[in-house]
Structure 1
Amino acid sequence: MKRLLTLALACAGALPLLAANADECRLLSSPEQIDYGTLDRSRLTPQQPALALPEKTTQIHLSCTHPVDLSLFFKAEFLDSERWRLTDNGHLRIKAGNAVVDGEPVELGLLSHPGAAPGPAAASLDWRPQHGMTPVRAGQTLRGRSLSLTLTLEGELSASAFQVHGMIQSTASGQLQAPASGATSNLDLHWQIQPAACTPQLSNNGVVDYGKISAQSLQPDKRTRLPSRHLNLTISCDSPARYALLMHDNRDGTALVNSMVFYGLGLDAASNRIGLFEVVFDPRLISADQVPAAYLTYSTGGGTYWSNASAQSNSITSKTLLAFTDEDNTTKGPVPFRNLSTSIEIKPVIAPTLDLDLRQDISLDGSATLEIVYL
């Protein structure tokens, strides 16, 4: 997905036509393409609401064959009197400095509108929304054949910009304009946002082995619940990430009960269903970053809304998102965690032996896949 920002240096309203023509002036940005590279949440901490982008500069050169008004204008969507919008989740500040006209260093002044008297001059100025920038000497706007200056770009993206499911390519496109001559130059900002990557790991490689079970230890006419076993689950992310969990049955259709909380144990030689198992999370066993306690919350709406968080144990399912939060009895949903660990309980049930083919050994063949869903 691309988020586009139109940055245009332009003058609002009518501009006086001067003697110079568009083909007599050239306006260049060097570089025209500014690349912030790949960004991720790894430099964010829970205390940081935003990530400052690396400071970038571009050199602006305006050259004309005849002396002209060298004023430049900027027009773009803005947030307030100081910041320009940089996508829906960020902003941009621009500073102008190191101005030189016809080889001589000069100061810069802001213009409230075309033709206005410049404001207080300085060697470096913040370029404010709805204002132009002009070279100044002795309080007066300078005319000349050439202007060079440095633009310093200071961008910032909010933490919410990094809550992405896949790699996001973004571009902010702008245009510098010298209204008196009609010369223009494009300026493009590029970056991509990489989602947080989380790695789940189960103890014993996720294998629960019940060894040999005697048929005589199983109930002939009713189901037998085997002793619960536990596995340790750790989820490690390269930066704090907001996610939920699902579990998918790799033996789909073999569970004794058709329910999204139960997973199959496979079939015997006569294609009878051997049993089922469920996987239970107990929030009292969860350790997550530095929070004193973690709670379970669920979403049946794909993460658009969440249940009241609770300290009660519950089973993971194949369709309802299970996630973790730091506050009890809240519907705010999951919060970002970097490291989480817990013990999960495996609870198998075997079908009545009268419903199984015991003429040969039966292998418990349950298998399920844990999925991390980034939110």
Structure 2
Amino acid sequence: MNKTLSALCTALLLTTASPAFAASTDLTVTGVITPSACTPTLSGGGIVDHGKISAKDLRPDNPTALPKLTLQMAVNCDAPVQYYFSPIDHRAGTAWGTSSQFGLGRTNAGEKLGSFMVDALNMRADGVDVQHIASTDGGKTWIKDYWDADNLWAVGAMDDTSMPLRVKDLTLDLRITTQIASTRELTLTDDVLIDGSATLQLKYL
């Protein structure tokens, strides 16, 4: 009997305790496990090599455009899936001229060396022509736009740019346009490495 009473008293004390110091917050863990995986590949190991460039061949008052080079890109998935690319500029803050392009690093004196941009051409998804679309608001909306360094990238139907397509096999050309800043803005007394670097991170919708 005593044990029963003791347990009952404890229960009453717990349930009638003052809530004045109680507080709570919620933790929610979400996500989606997709059965479809995608593998992106770039020709040439994803390397665009302009070789050695003589400083005397660069323009003093305007940026110098280097020859445009093209890589072939493919994305192969287990099944049709919606995805987009989130570009990461590993030389962020070094682009000469505009933040919508990727940086090339800095000279030994700390000057912005130049920039490069990416154009998507000849896009085909599962045997059908498609077009590049982009999001400037973190994926909330999609429009027909260039694949800039500060956008999210995806592919859309030729008659609908409002939503990324579900795609199994995608092929396209990536044309890389590189420019070097005017030499009046650069210290080129020693060799300077053209050091552009970016990652195209594929993310599922």
TM class, shorter-length: 0.7 to 0.9
* TM-score, length of structure 1 as denominator length: 0.44
Q: Which residue of 2 aligns with 1:316?
A: 147
Residue in structure 1 matched with residue 38 of structure 2 by the alignment: 198
Structure 2 counterpart of 1:262: 101
| Counterpart amino acid of residue 323 in structure 1 | A
How far apart in 2 are the matches of 1:277 and 1:251?
11
Cα deviations by residue, 1:314-340 (Å, 9 ceiling, x for unpaired): 532344222112332x24411111110
Shift of 1:230: 0.4
Pairwise CA RMSD of aligned residues? 1.9
Report which of the two has the higher share of strand: 1
Amino acid at match of 1:243: Y
Q: Please name the residue that 1:342 is paired with.
A: 172
Structure 2: distance between partners of 1:209 and 1:165: 40
- 1:354 to partner: Cα distance: 1.9
Partners of 1:306 and 1:224 in 2: how far apart? 33
Residue 287, structure 1, aligned to residue 124, structure 2:
yes
Give the TM-score of the pair, scaled to structure 2: 0.79
Write the distance in 2 (CA, Å) between the matches of 1:230 and 1:165.
36
Distance 2:97 2:85 in 1: 22
CA-CA distance at 1:243 after TM superposition: 0.9
Q: CA deviation at 1:165?
A: 5.8
User: Would you tell me which structure has more helix in proportion to its own residues?
Assistant: 2
Deviation at 1:301, TM superposition (A): 3.3
Q: Deviations over 1:52-101 (max 9, x none)?
A: xxxxxxxxxxxxxxxxxxxxxxxxxxxxxxxxxxxxxxxxxxxxxxxxxx
Pair 211,199 (structure 1): closer, same or farther in 2 beyond 3 Å: same
- Offset at residue 269 of structure 1 (A): 0.9
Out of 306, 329, 333, which is 2:163 matched to? Answer: 333
C-alpha separation between the residues in 1 aligned to 2:155 and 2:133?
6
Deviations 1:31-69 (A, max 9, x none): xxxxxxxxxxxxxxxxxxxxxxxxxxxxxxxxxxxxxxx
Deviations 1:285-320 (A, max 9, x none): 0121132x112222233333322x5xxxx5323442
Deviation at 1:217, TM superposition (A): 0.9
Residue 146 of structure 2 is aligned to residue 300 of structure 1 = no
- Tell me if the contact between 1:246 and 1:316 (Cα under 8 Å) persists in the aligned partners: no
Alignment of 1:220-239 (within 5 A): 220-239=60-79
How much has 1:249 moved relative to structure 2? 0.6
Flag the 1:255–1:233 CA change in 2: closer, same or farther, 3 A. same
The answer to whether residue 190 in structure 2 is matched with residue 360 in structure 1 is: yes
Q: Distance in 1 between matches of 2:135 and 2:31?
A: 17
How far apart, CA to CA, are the structure 1 residues paired with 2:61 and 2:118? 25
Question: For the residues of structure 2 that align with 1:327 and 1:264, how far apart are their CA atoms?
Answer: 31
Question: Residues 348 and 165 (structure 1 numbering): CA distance in 2 closer, same or farther, change over 3 Å?
Answer: farther
Identity of aligned residues (%): 39
Aligned residue for 1:286, secondary structure, equals strand
Structure 2 counterpart SS, 1:205: helix
Structure 2 gap segments, 5+ residues each: 1-29
Which structure's CA Rg is the greater one? 1
1:258/1:195 Cα in 2 relative to 1: closer, same or farther (>3 Å)? farther
Q: CA deviation at 1:372?
A: 1.2
- State the secondary structure of the residue aligned to 1:280: strand
For 2:136 and 2:183, locate their aligned partners in 1 and report how far apart those are by CA, in whole Å: 36
Distance 1:200 1:165 in 2: 22
Distance 1:304 1:274 in 2: 34
CA distance in 2 between partners of 1:205 and 1:372 (Å):
17
SS in 2 for 1:327: coil
For residue 60 of structure 1, what is the aligned residue in structure 2?
Answer: none
